[in-house]
A = this chain, B = another copy of it.
Amino acid sequence: MASFDLKEAAQLLADELEQQKFGEAPETLYAPLRYILSLGGKRLRPALTLLGCYLFDDDYKKAIDPAIGVEVFHNFTLMHDDIMDEAPLRRGKMTVHEKWNSNVAILSGDVMFVRSYEYISNVEDKILRQALALFNKCAAEVCEGQQFDMDFEERETVGEEEYIEMIRLKTAVLIGFALRLGALIGGATDEQSKVVEEFGVNVGLGFQLKDDILDVYADQDKFGKQVGGDIISNKKTLMLIKALKQAEGADAVELQNWLEAKDFDKEEKVAAVTDIYNRLGIREMATEKSNEYFTKGFAALENLDVSEDRKNLLKEFGVYLQNRDH
Interface on A for B, CB 8 Å cutoff?
23, 25-26, 28-29, 80, 83-84, 102-104, 106-111, 113-115, 117-118, 121, 125, 128-129, 132-133, 136, 139-140, 143-144, 146-148, 150-151
A-B contact pairs, 23 of them (CB 8 A): A25-B144, A26-B144, A26-B148, A28-B147, A28-B150, A29-B143, A29-B147, A83-B106, A84-B107, A102-B102, A104-B147, A104-B150, A108-B147, A110-B110, A110-B143, A114-B140, A115-B140, A117-B132, A117-B136, A125-B125, A125-B129, A128-B128, A128-B129
Report how far A103 CA is from B108 CA in the complex, Å: 16
Q: Closest B-chain residue to A140, C-beta based?
A: B114
Identical copies of this chain, number: 2
Q: Are A107 and B146 in contact (CB under 8 A)?
A: yes
CB distance from A120 to the nearest CB of B (A): 10
Q: Are A114 and B128 in contact (CB under 8 A)?
A: no
The residues of B that contact A125 with a CB separation of less than 8 Å are 125, 129
Which of B80, B111, B139 touches A143 (beta carbons < 8 Å)?
B111
Interface hub of A80, A114, A133, A150 (most chain B Cβ within 10 A) = A114
Which of B114, B132, B144, B150 touches A111 (beta carbons < 8 Å)?
B144
